[in-house]
A and B are shown apart, each in its own frame.
Chain A
Amino acid sequence: MRVCPRKARVAGRSGSRRRGGAPSLATSRPAARVAGLVAAALATAVAPAPGAAQSEPTVTNVTASFLTGPYTSLSVHPSDSQRVAIGTFDGHVLWSEDAGHTSDTAQALVFRRFDPIVIRSGQRAQFSVRGESELDEVLANHLRRLGDAADDIGRPDERSILLFLALLGQGMQAARWQLWMAAPDSIPEIGAIAWPPGDGPMLMAAPTGILLSDQSRRSWHRVLGGPGPMPRERDLIGLSVGIDPVDPKHMLAATDRGVMVSTTGGYTWSRHPDKALEDTWITRVVWDPDNPQLVFMVSPDAIYLSQDGGRRFEPSFAAEGEIRDLSLSPDAAVVATSDGMQVATSEGILPLLDGKDLVGAVPWRDGLFLAATTEELYLVAPDGSFRSILRTTPSDPYMRLAGNPRTAWLLSRYNILRIGDAVPRGSVFRAPPPRMLLSFGEFERAVLARAGQLDPDSTRLHARARAKLLPQLTARIGGTLGRSDQNRRDEIVLPGQIWQTAASAWDRTHWSIFAEWDLQEIVLGTRDNVSNPNLIIESQIRDKRDQLIQQTRTQYRECAALVADLRRPPADPEVEIAWRMRLEELASYLEWMSGRRVVERTPVEDLKLVE
């Protein structure tokens, strides 16, 4: 991730060849002479150098206007690039109709963790019943049901169910993970989203199926896919969707079972008649907004084209690398692949950025192109020269680039970047600019110290050898208090008799101290004992630590970027308020996690309007 993503204008760099720019096509790829000639002709005709000021892209980070990521998908309205929809990893659909100034949010999918808490209140609540007789009954019922359903769902490992029930019956804590619990969690990730031509319902592809929104887009329901919230092995997976730009009732949905088509606005679906698409993994459905007869289906291996509104598809393109995305402009098709990009015009093919593993490419202004890898955004000229204009980090990779010369959008895992018009600056509020108070290192140490995980050794669960040098100490004290008496009559000396009477009492006290050392623990320890359950717990704690670091790092970076950006606040007060709210959100989270004050800032409610 770049340090200051909201810079109104990304500084241009010259000397792109030094940064690894591809040499001219005619010399580097003799095999593609024909294409190269076309490219050369095009380049001389329309291409200015990529550093030309009038086409310099202005990159604006508009993440602050949206719900926090991580994000999973981005879809731009085919005919209005100011409208953008974003999917998140946790089931939210976010969309903006005004180029990211403001946004709307809807929760389309809800994450459900498959854990014992859910089990107690869910379908497996029966297993939490305690008491021997009840358990026997529950188990018998359960096994009977399994037998009935075995043909459909397969028989699970009953031994583990028996073990779990036995543990429950004895009131013992069951293991943290049992085989019969090994159902996967629900996957609320949002995949591709399709915009309708007007204000109608949206369509969405997700791992849990195909979902359709209502008119308001606030409510979503599944129209294709498995019935339950938990994924099952044979459930349908949604891959991509598209809506006819003229007839919003005509929809296409690519799934792992082939392409489905609806002519009823998503309420009923039938399998697409074209057999060629049955076993094809379609990652993108692109409907030409200007000519709805043209529909493109993008798969990693080929692009299928329909010229009759999606009835019949023909393979129309394949590339050396894996095809990643397709972008249309009125006079060109731009294909991003794992081996560069190919620009198709009526005059020929123009291969560019040879060897670059791209996630997307779009036409830009003045005959230039924008292309993105997971790490960099490039401005590309038709003559093959290019330069990097933005760079990110491996933890925040770019995932999609889409749009048109008016506005392009670049999505990374945690950021939404708009490429287009600059944000007018000049605040209507009177407030000092915010300031970061902690460096990155100080902040991270504070977070880990507060979580008690600063030292990796402190999260180690196996017993320390030095701890075992201290013994288990046992002190014991006890006593006995007793008495006895004896009466004895001896008859042998009759007529005179002998009587003996004896009485005794005693009081004994004893004490002892034991010290025990476990030499096995001291000498060998339990570090390498793979059956030690602590190792699993320890690994979980380490994972948590990594997640904590990653989470807080991302938020810190975004916070620092916002602080830098708010030195020149946007002129629109609503946008500035949204940005300051996001700053407040990030700062309050970071300050809680670190226990330190991280950002010096003016709370939104204390801003004073300039009179």
Chain B
Amino acid sequence: MTTRALLCTAALAAMAASLTAAPRTAAAQEGTEEVVPAPAPQRQVSRSNIRRLFEIIRAEMTVRDVQKAAVKHYQLEPERIHALARNARLKGLLPHVSASFSNELGNRFTNTKDGLFPVLPSPQENPNPNFYKERVAESSDQLSWSVSASWDLDRLIFAAEALDAKSLTGLEENLIREVTTLYFSRRRVLASLILSSPDDDEEFFYELMLLEELTATLDDFTGRRFSKKT
């Protein structure tokens, strides 16, 4: 043990001395004798209150129904999550489809003059006032179409999107844990109110407030289903 520690140990002894030397309250004097306590008296809970509590609980939504309602409200049902993951892979069977359609219309007129070409009188039935050697008129109309389909076959084995869907199970777990805890917190408050109702009015009021608060929260978690059935 170092010198410092020895000195500090001496200081602790002084500290303990101050504990015992200092004037103590009456409660402390009594406390020194109270080493092994008597067992706490057992409280009496009315049997009728117990029956009443059970009746109320029976009439309420079960925790399973509350859990189902919550995941339904938040669209986090396990079946939905599994379907999302499965469908992410099955997308590999369905192709990306593209289609194209085009139409092309064309007209071409060609009038040719030739220096060597003799200037001849223009016949009445086929006038050629500009003395063209040759006149050509062409027209065309073309319709094109195509359809293309593309498959990402590797998705059948691995699709990253499926794992994104699986990560929703984390949200589901959080939701279930929270709603289960809330449900039984509320039930404990209910039991406390019925089995050992506070004597103090203010305390009773706060208990009721807490019950209301938990009921409202559960109601929101379940998309108003809790209050409808409770």
Contacts and interface: CB of A to CB of B under 8 A. Distances in A.
Interface of A: 29, 31-32, 34-35, 54, 67-68, 79, 82, 98-99, 101-102, 105, 216, 218, 288-291, 293-294, 296, 302-303, 305, 307, 315-320, 328, 330-333, 335, 342, 344-346, 348-349, 351, 365-366, 405-407, 420-422, 424, 450-453, 459, 461, 463-464, 466-492, 494-495, 497, 534, 537-538, 540-541, 544, 547-548, 551, 571-574, 577-578, 581-582, 584-585, 588-589, 592-593, 595, 604-607, 609
Interface in B189-211: 191-192, 195-196, 202-203, 206, 209-210
B64 interface: yes
Given A290-B24, A494-B120, A349 B12 contact: yes
A478 B145 contact: yes
Interface of B: 1-2, 4-6, 8-25, 27-28, 31-32, 34-37, 39-40, 42-43, 45, 47, 50-51, 53-55, 57-58, 63-64, 67, 78, 82, 85, 95, 100, 104, 106, 117, 120, 123, 126, 128, 131-158, 160, 163-164, 166-167, 169-170, 173, 176-177, 180-181, 183-185, 187-188, 191-192, 195-196, 202-203, 206, 209-210
Contacts of A451: 166, 169, 173
A577 B176 contact: no
Given A289-B28, A589-B180, A473 B185 contact: no
A481 B102 CA distance: 10
A592 B67 contact: yes
Nearest to B126: A497
Given A572-B45, A604-B54, A609-B47, A467 B166 contact: no
A290 B31 contact: yes
Given A480-B143, A484-B140, A588-B64, A305 B15 contact: yes
Given A307-B18, A483-B140, A588-B63, A405 B35 contact: yes
Contacts of A288: 19, 22
Contacts of A290: 24-25, 27-28, 31
A592 B9 CA distance: 56
Contacts of A470: 153-154, 156-157
A307 B22 contact: yes
A571 B35 CA distance: 25
A331 B158 contact: no
B148 A331 contact: no
Given A333-B16, A342-B12, A485-B138, A537 B123 contact: no
A600 B51 CA distance: 23
Q: Chain B: interface secondary structure? A: helix
Contacts of B128: 491
B150 A593 contact: no
Contacts of A540: 167
Nearest to B37: A406
Nearest to B60: A605
Contacts of B19: 288, 291, 294, 328, 330-333, 344, 346
Given A319-B8, A320-B2, A461 B163 contact: yes
A365 B36 contact: yes
A317 B6 CA distance: 10
24 contacts: A31-B1, A98-B40, A288-B22, A291-B28, A316-B15, A320-B2, A333-B12, A333-B16, A344-B16, A346-B17, A424-B42, A452-B169, A461-B163, A463-B158, A463-B160, A476-B147, A477-B147, A481-B143, A482-B140, A484-B140, A488-B134, A489-B134, A544-B169, A574-B191
B58 to A, nearest CB: 5
Q: Which 5 A-B pairs have the closest CB atoms?
A: A478-B146, A290-B28, A344-B16, A482-B142, A467-B157
A216 B166 contact: no
A574 B203 contact: no
A472 B151 contact: yes
A344 B13 contact: yes
Given A319-B8, A573-B50, A605 B166 contact: no
Contact of A486 (B85, B136, B163, B167): B136
Contacts of A588: 63-64, 67, 180
B154 to A, nearest CB: 4
Contact of A472 (B47, B133, B153, B163): B153
A469 B157 CA distance: 10
Contact of B138 (A105, A486, A551): A486
B163 A541 contact: yes
Nearest to A328: B19
A581 B20 contact: no
A366 B35 CA distance: 8
A605 B52 CA distance: 10
Contacts of A346: 13, 16-17, 19-21
Contacts of A472: 150-154
A291 B42 contact: no
A605 B63 contact: no
B144 A467 contact: no
Given A534-B160, A585-B184, A330 B28 contact: yes
Nearest to B39: A421
B180 A467 contact: no
Given A420-B37, A452-B85, 13 more contacts: A102-B192, A290-B24, A290-B25, A317-B8, A421-B39, A470-B157, A472-B151, A477-B147, A480-B143, A494-B120, A584-B63, A588-B64, A592-B67
Nearest to A483: B141
Contact of B166 (A303, A453, A484): A453
A551 B8 contact: no
Contact of B154 (A305, A467, A481): A467
A604 B128 CA distance: 111
Nearest to A470: B153
A585 B181 contact: yes
Nearest to A349: B9
A406 B117 CA distance: 133
Most central of A420, A452, A495 by chain B CB within 10 Å: A452
Contacts of A348: 13
Contacts of A466: 157
A305 B195 contact: no
Contact of B18 (A82, A305, A319, A464): A305
B160 to A, nearest CB: 5
A495 B54 CA distance: 120
B136 A582 contact: no
B115 to A, nearest CB: 13
Contacts of A474: 148-151
B14 A544 contact: no
Contact of A548 (B12, B146, B173, B195): B173
Nearest to A504: B140
A311 B85 CA distance: 65
A467 B145 CA distance: 33
A491 B169 contact: no
B2 to A, nearest CB: 7
Nearest to B176: A592
A202 B147 CA distance: 75
Given A585-B184, A588-B67, A342 B144 contact: no
A607 B54 contact: yes
A176 B122 CA distance: 82
Contacts of A344: 12-13, 15-16, 19
A331 B136 contact: no
A473 B54 CA distance: 64
Nearest to B123: A495
